[in-house]
Chains A and B, each alone.
Chain A
Amino acid sequence: MMKKKKKIVLAKPGLDGHDRGIQIVASALKEGGMDVIYLGLRQTPEMIVNAAIQKKANVIAVSVLTGSHMTVFRKMMKLLKEKGIKEMLVTGGGIIPEADQKKLSKLGVGRLFGPGTPLEEIVSYIKNWKGSVS
């Protein structure tokens, strides 16, 4: 059976507009053969989770540089749980200290990528993630 294209919803949660990173990651994922939906700036966790469900995405990836990552990821995980979604990879990147990454990992958040990560690493992580798509 042909593998279906992985569908990924990208977003910038919160009020920050620094989107150089997420734009570049979005391009790389698209070039990597994924179906990329970039929601843009100022998205709330509700908007992101709803969009991901509505678009039948496999992956949510957000970029947070402002230190609000704990609030944002916790909220998204809670919303997904409430809606009974288990097969969604929630990942992202930004300025996220390692201690916080560990805490988020315990909540079921996937890998979080810091500045200087090779694009290839992000693309192959998402590509190779074994989700619901087969």
Chain B
Amino acid sequence: MTSSRRNRTYYTPNDFPERGYAHHLGDPGTFPFTRGIHPTMYRQKPWTIREFAGFGTAEETNKRFHLLLAEGQMGLSVAFDMPTLMGVDSDSPRAEGEVGRCGVAIDTLQDMEDLFKKISLDRISTSMTINGPAIVMLAFYIACAQKQGASLRRLKGTLQNDILKEYIAQREWIFPPRPSLKLVVDVIEHCTHHLPLWNTISISGYHIREAGSTAAQELAFTLADGFTYVEESLKRGLAVDHFAPRLSFFFNAHLNFLEEIAKFRAARRIWAKKMRNEYKAKKKRSWLLRFHTQTAGCTLTRQQPENNIVRTAYEALSAVLGGTQSLHTNSMDEQLALPTEKAVRIALRTQQILLHEIGITEIVDPLAGSYAIECLTDRLEHRAEEYFRRIQEKGGVVPALEQGFFQKEIAHAARCYQREIEQKKRIIVGVNAYLQKEESEIPLLTIGAGIERKQVARLKRVRKMRSPQKVRQALEHLGEAAKTEENLMESLVEAAHAYATLGEIVEKLKRVFGEYHQKPIF
């Protein structure tokens, strides 16, 4: 159990008060959606199998995308390299050694065009995992779609765009919290008007959990972030029923099987109640918490890596029993390197086995009514509410993160978890029990050293072929617009078409917004 309190041996009807089925649970597809957002769930529409991929140059990742699509994957999910995630160009000294290492390098629109070569953007759905410079990457994507001749109104996908959890957990921010939040709302506003099928944000608990939080903290902090985005969008003057249907979520599927299922169910109920009762949303779609799930990377072990296939399968099963809309299953070798094609294929097959072979798609929310599951769901909801109160007392999410509240809570939980492993109170097979003298060796993916040189050369070519005057003009427009309250999306799309680099754009914005530093906690 990753939460601090231990479960009871068994649960009975006395463990939770009678609150009425319709009010507290409801049928699948009805308020408060504890049991799922659709009445038919996977019977009618299976979850989207979406493996996160990206490495090297855009051309190489494009090849992996074509492979995944050919293997039956339904949507694409782009992993960017660290320089891209931090808004740094591949030819900057700060990018040295990191180009194309843990994702694909995207410096300009040209890279985006190559990434989606022979993939029609109006026919697929694309998830882009990026936060600090998320709005810039969306501008590149929009510009790319325009060049392909795709209709923006048909673009489907998700931009992670969740900056709050960066300050809370993953620490990949560029600007200070307040201007960052402004950019998030710019995306929400622009997409609400122009990209109606686009998920404007993926409010993420995944990274909070990976940083070491408990299930209750993941649930509470993620939803608190979600409410903050809702409130900021309302302040912008957007109508709740216009933007809320396109907010999406992203959770972690950790090892504690039953608690995880309860977490997903609790998340849906809390969100639905709050959206209807507090934010007065009228549309059903605004009440729905739709989410992507990824199995927990932090539960994979370097020792006996094949065991990770089994861990991942159980985690994936909890996500499916919890009613996820899409799923990424990790590969067995990710504690050692980026995954090989074979490891990725096994991860993909794990989902296909769940989908087709074990009958789990036949019945919606089959664990409902289990004393234990319902009691755990209630308990997680209560703990989340306790956290909401504490966050409120600190003045809301932004002041709380500026005070280091979340960071300290998570660091404490991470230390407790580690201590339990060290003291063997928590057994991890192959790590603190059932050790093997000879570790099995599996083949690993190596990223050629030539990648960085190749990408820098690509960028140099773009810098040469573009019109310096157009770039200068576009960046000037952007700089001026950034000083006002104006939505920056249009200026960014203009800069993308001028082939301004990500780094040039981010530097321009830094001059207006400033940078942010956080005191390390340990």
Interfacial residues, chain A to chain B (CB-CB below 8 A) = 14-20, 22-24, 26-27, 30, 36, 38-41, 44, 65-68, 70-72, 95, 97, 114-116, 118-120
Nearest-Cβ distance from residue B87 to partner chain A, whole angstroms: 10
Interface bits B487-522 vs A (CB < 8 Å: 1, else 0): 000000000000000000000000000000011111
State whether A19 touches B171 (Cβ < 8 A). yes
Give A95 to B447 CA distance when docked, in angstroms: 13
State whether A119 touches B415 (Cβ < 8 A). no
Q: A66 and B98 in contact (CB under 8 A), knowing A24-B418, A119-B418?
A: yes
Q: A116 and B431 in contact (CB under 8 A), knowing A15-B94, A17-B170, A24-B415?
A: yes
State whether B415 touches A27 (Cβ < 8 A). yes
Give A34 to B275 CA distance when docked, in angstroms: 50
Give A15 to B102 CA distance when docked, in angstroms: 12
Interface bits B82-112 vs A (CB < 8 Å: 1, else 0): 1101101000001111100110000000000
Nearest-Cβ distance from residue A91 to partner chain B, whole angstroms: 17
**B211 contact from A20, A27, A67, Cβ within 8 A:** A20
Give the chain A neighbours of B211 by CB distance below 8 A: 18, 20
State whether B171 touches A18 (Cβ < 8 A). yes
Give the chain A neighbours of B96 by CB distance below 8 A: 68, 71
Q: Is the interface of B mostly helix, strand, loop or mixed?
A: loop
Give A27 to B414 CA distance when docked, in angstroms: 11
User: Does chain A have a CB within 8 A of B337?
Assistant: yes
State whether A66 touches B82 (Cβ < 8 A). yes
State whether B172 touches A116 (Cβ < 8 A). no
User: Does chain A have a CB within 8 A of B482?
Assistant: no
Give A23 to B522 CA distance when docked, in angstroms: 5
User: Does chain A have a CB within 8 A of B302?
Assistant: yes
Residues 441 to 484 of chain B near chain A (Cβ within 8 Å): 444, 446-447
State whether A97 touches B97 (Cβ < 8 A). no
**B422 contact from A17, A38, A118, Cβ within 8 A:** A118
State whether A38 touches B97 (Cβ < 8 A). no
Give A97 to B338 CA distance when docked, in angstroms: 11
State whether A16 touches B520 (Cβ < 8 A). no
Give A72 to B94 CA distance when docked, in angstroms: 11
Give A38 to B212 CA distance when docked, in angstroms: 19
State whether A14 touches B97 (Cβ < 8 A). yes
Q: A95 and B98 in contact (CB under 8 A), knowing A115-B301, A116-B303?
A: no
**B88 contact from A15, A26, A68, A120, Cβ within 8 A:** A15
Give A15 to B303 CA distance when docked, in angstroms: 27
State whether A68 touches B335 (Cβ < 8 A). no
Interface bits B409-448 vs A (CB < 8 Å: 1, else 0): 0010011001000100000100110000000000010110
